Amino acid sequence: MSTLTVQNIQGSSSSGNTINVASGHVLNAPGHVIQVVTGNLTSLVSASGTTIVDTGLTATITPTSTSSKIFCSGYISIGTSGFFVYLWLVRGSTQIFKGDTAGSRPTVTVAAPSHSGADDTYALEPTPFSFLDSPNTTSATTYKIQGRQYGSGAWFVNRTNSHRDNANYEPVGTSTITLMEIAQ
C-alpha cells in the first residue's frame, strides 16, 4: 500500500468544487458518517407478561470496515396500564447496552416511564435510546429493541393501553431506529 501526502485537495471550479469518489470505492475519513440506515415501525404491537420479546423495531446495516463504529439511536412509543416496560437494545441476539448488575434488579437499556394511575392507560410515551457500538464485523448486522412488562399485564408499541377510537382521544404513534456507520 502506498501513501499520498498532500496539504490540500480541492475540486475544480467546473465541477462545483466537488470531489468524487469512484463507485465501489470508499473514502475513509475518521469520525465521518459512511452510511445511514433507518428502520421505522408504524404498525401496532401488543405483548404481555415477563417474557422478553421482539418489538418489531429493527434495522440492519452492513459495515464497510471491522474498525467502524455503529451509532444506534431512536425512540419507541410505549403504552401500558402496568408499571415499567423494560426495553433492551440488541445486536443480533445479544443485549449490548444495559445497566450494571445491582442485586436482583432488572438491568435494561431503558425503561418506559412507570404508570400507576387510572389516567396512565391513555398515555403513549416516546422512550428514547442511543448507543455507540463496536460490532467488529463487515457482515450484515441487525439491531433491534426487545421488551417485557414489569408483571403479567399487557403493553403496547405505537398505541395506548385504552386505544379508544375517537378523533379527540388516544393517538396512534410511531417508533424509529437509525444506524450510522462512523469511520475510525
- pLDDT given at position 118: 67
Percent of the chain past pLDDT 70, that is, above it, reads: 95
For residue 121, the 8-state DSSP code is: G
Percent of the chain past pLDDT 90, that is, above it, reads: 68
- pLDDT given at position 174: 98
- Can you tell me the mean pLDDT for 78-102? 93
Q: Is the pLDDT of residue 35 over 70?
A: yes
Q: Is residue 28 part of a domain?
A: no
Task: Summarize pLDDT for 105-130 with one digit per residue, the tens.
Answer: 999 999 987 766 666 788 899 999 99
CA distance 59 to 43: 15
- pLDDT given at position 31: 93
Q: Which of 6-10, 15-19, 36-40, 177-181 has the lowest mean pLDDT?
A: 15-19
Strand partners, 87: 110, 147
- pLDDT given at position 15: 66
Q: Is residue 68 part of a domain?
A: yes
- Can you tell me the mean pLDDT for 75-97? 94
CA distance 112 to 78: 7
Residue carrying C-alpha cell 475513509: 28
- Can you tell me the mean pLDDT for 21-46? 90
Q: Give me the domain span that covers residue 107.
A: 37-182
Q: Is residue 86 part of a domain?
A: yes
Q: Is the pLDDT of residue 83 over 90?
A: no
User: What total of structural domains would you count in the chain?
Assistant: 1
Q: Is residue 132 part of a domain?
A: yes
Phi–psi pair at 172, nearest 5 degrees: -105, 130
Q: Which amino acid is at 169?
A: Y
- pLDDT given at position 63: 97
Q: Is the pTM of this model over 0.85?
A: yes
pLDDT-based confidence at 6, cuts 50/70/90? Answer: confident
- pLDDT given at position 117: 67
Q: Is residue 13 part of a domain?
A: no
Q: Is residue 129 part of a domain?
A: yes
pLDDT-based confidence at 20, cuts 50/70/90? Answer: confident
CATH of the domain at 51: 2.60.120.1340
Q: Is residue 19 part of a domain?
A: no
Q: Is residue 2 part of a domain?
A: no
